Amino acid sequence: MNRQARLGMVATALAIVYVVWGSTYLGIRVVVEDVPPLTGMGARFAAAGLLLGVVLRLRGVDVRVSRAELLGAALLGLMLPLLGNGLVAIGESKGAPSGVAALLVAAVPLWVVAYRFASGDRARGWSVLGVVLGFVGLAWLVLGGRSQGDVPLVGAAFVLAASGFWAFGSWVQPRLTLPKDPFVLAVHEMWTGGVMMVALGLAVGESPTPFAYDARTWLAWLYLVVIGSMVGFSAYVWLLSNAPIGLVATYAYVNPVVAVLLGWALLDEPITAAVLVGGLVIVAAVAVVITVERPPKQAEDPALEPA
């Protein structure tokens, strides 16, 4: 594959992650109005993993993996689908607006810098400033929004915890033994995470009643399975293996804008002063961190060179 074609694939995958993931917060908010969050999202990822596996097999891709690769994929399934997406679903089921959830998840790059610092990697001054600014924005968003009645504290806490786990999964991924094919990785990451999520949901007493859900709920769930998981999640996993992490992380300040606008337009979620000010501070902080932490051009080139 030549360089231009590879750059085109990176740009396409990034655009998918930008737009699709911004819309998934809306889809989750619709689904959890009727569906228990863990079993609903677990079934979503399990179905998406199965369907993607079938598609890959029809294309002649061997989806078998070693035990070590399966364990690595399962760990990511725990961190990203279960503790990442699952906690977002719980947070939204407890009243967190979809746009606010997206803004809280935008803290992922801030968490990544914090993990790097904790592991002994010396952070740059501007990165530290960006992290501090970002968490100030998060505090303003949650506490200011709570005073205006539009950000439930418990729901926000679940979503903020989800962003921390999602960041840890993204940060630890290069350190794990994983399938070399990113789409095979997505299959095993999604089905293992989905099965764990369903099992946990049943263990804590969730009781799904699929025949009682209306067409709106099912359409939102199917959108999450096909577009959100099979397309969006696979694009993200592919990007992590084929593009610099600094470039991939830029989705964090595009998704919230998409999510806030969709929530406002389709679910009448208010864009309050807390959402506007806190959101702008968070997005600005994430932009600072990503810009400062982006590797030099020489370090970025190999990820975009022909394989």
pLDDT score at 1: 61
Please give the Cα distance from 92 to 41 (Å, whole number): 12
Mean pLDDT of 47-53: 95
pLDDT score at 30: 96
The token pair that represents 269 in the structure block: 């979620």
Please give the Cα distance from 224 to 141 (Å, whole number): 26
- pLDDT digits 0-9 by tens, 61-107: 999 999 999 999 999 999 999 999 999 999 999 989 888 898 888 88
Mean pLDDT check: name the lowest of 21-35, 80-94, 111-125, 188-202. Answer: 111-125
Mean pLDDT of 214-235: 91
Please give the Cα distance from 90 to 160 (Å, whole number): 11
Query: pLDDT at residue 306 above 60?
Result: no
Query: pLDDT at residue 298 above 70?
Result: no
Please give the Cα distance from 195 to 45 (Å, whole number): 8
Q: Is the dihedral of CA 3, 306, 11, 16 positive or negative?
A: positive
Higher pLDDT, 217 or 104: 217
- Helix, strand, coil tally for the chain in percent (to 5): 80, 0, 20
Contacts of 298 (CB under 8 A, 6+ apart): none
pLDDT score at 205: 96
- pLDDT digits 0-9 by tens, 21-45: 889 999 999 999 999 999 999 999 9
Mean pLDDT of 212-234: 92
DSSP secondary structure letter of residue 123:
P
Q: Which of 249, 266, 278 is nearest to 100 (CA)?
A: 278
Amino acid in position 94: K
pTM, full prediction: 0.82
Query: pLDDT at residue 300 above 80?
Result: no
